[in-house]
Amino acid sequence: MTREARDGREVTDREHYLAARVLNALLREDYAGITARITRDRDGVAIVLASGRRVGLAAGDPFQDFSTARHERLALAEVLETLEAVAHPADAEGVAAFERECQEALTALETHHRMRHEVAGRLRARRGLIRYESLAATVDHPLYPTARCRLGISPAGLAAHAPEFAAEFAMRWAAAPRERVTLSRTDLPGWWPAPGDVGLPSCLAGTHVLFPVHPLTEPLVTRLPGVVPGREPYLTVRPTLSTRTVEVADRVHLKVPLAASTLGLRNRRSIKPGTLRDGALAESLLRRILAREPRLRVSLADEQTYGHAGHEHLAWLVRGLPEGEIVPVAALLAPLAGRDGRLVLHEVAERHHGGDAEALLRDYLAVLLEWNVTLFVRYGVALEAHQQNLALLFRDGPVRLLVKDNDGLLASPRRLRAAGLDVPGFGDERMLTDDPYALADVFVTITLHLAAMAVAHGALPGPAATLVAQALAAALDAYGDDPAARLLRARTLDADRLTGKSMVVAGTLVAKDRTGARDVNKFYGTTGPNYLRGA
């Protein structure tokens, strides 16, 4: 463990790690022109911090030209001081919020480090998908530096409810007046409680509907007019990687609103009622496409069962998962305790690919890119299915790709109609566009960067770019000179640089009226090196 005294305070390895990630994100997104502080001389490339300290930079990160050299040891305070020095005065509120994110992320990292032996004991008792969900939560987001922070949740709240702590807790419940409730299906799941199970009068069954409530959201729900909070908890659950989605049973997940923000201040984890219907419509569209493309090794989670009471804190989704062994893609890079650098990827490869991790990775990339290229070229669809929304599904036959959470999908009405498909009546008009470049931006930033390259580079840094380029080229070659295939090739394999998302800028640092972002999750404005060229 490296500890250095700085201003009378010890700087831990976790702080060095986080400070470098924060500086790298600011450089990658070039917030407020911070890259103007980069110098080049015979000693190499460096950035001059506000303190005057020169911090060495190095090439090699696939998503940006230069990132913090591995030998550098930064304190978080000196990075944030530099952020303040370059920030636009209009961003003062956003800068303060981001600094809070950084401090809370550091606290979360230190808390997890302190509890690591206890957490390891919990993980040893877990099997199957929920074990992998917890392991996946120990792998930081490839690009967003403060992903461990969930703004609005205390350190104690994280330890009791976050997946990286392998937590387990009991759900709370509240009864909403039946006339306010919208249900996608008339019958509730068999494991749903009756009013008496949560300490409420049985007579409420005729006038109210019970809603599951996350314990961290309960204080907000109990203040809603007309809502009757349950007196007793009911149903022990375990948080999955998304935190607000919990495991009820081996094949059943429950998604509920969470009074917190992740991946940026503006990424609230509540559930807008309209997104439930939009997600169900998106899933139905993808099922119609899969019916036409039987060669694709893709399965979809069932997300047709949901309910809401017209409020972002009173909503739920029950997700049904298919039979077979499920391994979240985000878990592949998780280290296995006491296994000398071995990852979940190696464990899974031992069971399904004769121990050949590269073969498993090649298979995954082939399935992933064939699916997403087909959606783009034939149907004008781009999925916001990053590594957290994808899983490997093993059952009889070769590995399949399991896809969930489709309410961020982007689709072209014109292209869908040309393919003979009805255009879904999404409530969120931002899910529809005939702009092929907008579709390509989603493909590059989500499918290529996060689902493909981040996973491949984290597992096998040397051959990663070659593996991704080969899989993408094969998927595109199947469509020859199709105009959509040519456009996607031009924006990927043949591009000088690749589009990137400005996640920190849009998510926290800069207000929407200054960025002009309609959707903070689809805000671009930065580019990075094309790691595919010459691969």
Would you call 38 helix, strand, or coil by DSSP? strand
Mean pLDDT across the chain, nearest whole number?
96
Over residues 217-227, the mean pLDDT reads 97
DSSP string, 362-418: HHHHHHHHHHHHHIIIII-EE----GGGEEEEESSSS-EEEE---TT-EE-HHHHHH
Distance of CA 342 to the CA centre of its chain: 23
pLDDT at residue number 207: 97
Give the pLDDT band (50/70/90) at residue 7.
Answer: low
- pLDDT one-digit tens code per residue, 364-395: 999 999 999 999 999 999 999 999 999 999 99
Q: Where are the beta strands (DSSP E) in 404-457?
A: 410-411
Specify the pLDDT at position 525. Answer: 82
Q: What is residue 339's predicted lDDT score, i.e. its pLDDT? A: 72
pLDDT at 266: 94
- Of the candidates 401, 402, 429, 433, the one whose C-alpha atom is nearest the C-alpha of residue 416 is 433
Residues sharing a CB contact under 8 Å with residue 397, sequence separation 6 or more, in sequence order: none
- Please give the C-alpha separations between residue 390 and each of 68, 194, 206, in angstroms, as whole numbers: 30, 34, 40
DSSP helix/strand/coil, 458: helix
Judge whether residue 533 has pLDDT over 70.
yes
Residue 114 has pLDDT above 80, yes or no: yes
Q: How many percent of the chain have pLDDT more than 70?
A: 98
pTM for this one?
0.96
Residue labelled with tokens 């064939």: 370
pLDDT surpassing 60 at residue 6: no
> Mapped to the 3 state alphabet, what secondary structure does 182-245 carry?
EECCCCCCCCCCCHHHHCCCHHHHHCEEEEEECCCCHHHHCCCCCCEECCCCCCEEEECCCCCE
DSSP H/E element including 27: helix 13-29
Name the phi and psi angles at 156, rounded to 5: -65, -35
| pLDDT value, residue 337 | 83
Task: Pull the structure tokens for residue 475.
Answer: 């998927």
pLDDT of residue 1: 40
* Range with the poorest average pLDDT among 8-12, 37-41, 325-329: 8-12
> Of 267, 247, 256, 243, whose CA–CA distance to 312 is shortest?
256
| Spatial CA neighbour of 171 closest among 155, 151, 189, 152 | 189
pLDDT number for residue 297: 98
Q: Spelled out in words, what is the top-level CATH class assigned to the domain 328-529?
A: mainly alpha
The boundaries of every CATH 1.10.510.40 domain in the chain are: 328-529
Residue 88 pLDDT more than 70?
yes
pLDDT in tens, 15-62: 999 999 999 999 999 999 999 999 999 999 999 999 999 999 999 899
Comparing 150-154, 326-330, 469-473, 519-523, the range with the smallest average pLDDT is 519-523
Q: Is the pLDDT of residue 3 over 70?
A: no
CB 304 within 8 A of CB 283: yes
Question: In the predicted model, is pLDDT for residue 172 greater than 80?
Answer: yes
pLDDT for position 2:
43
Average pLDDT on 141-149 reads: 96
What digits encode the pLDDT tens for the residues 289-322? 999 999 999 999 999 999 999 999 999 999 999 9
Cα-based distances in Å from 79 to 12, 22, 43, 44, 84? 15, 7, 22, 20, 9
* Percent of the chain topping pLDDT 90: 94
Measured CA to CA, the distance from residue 18 to residue 106 in angstroms comes to: 7
Residue 95: the pLDDT is 98
Q: What letter does residue 427 receive in the DSSP assignment?
A: S
pLDDT, tens digit (0-9, with 9 covering 90-100), for 116-139: 999 999 999 999 999 999 999 999
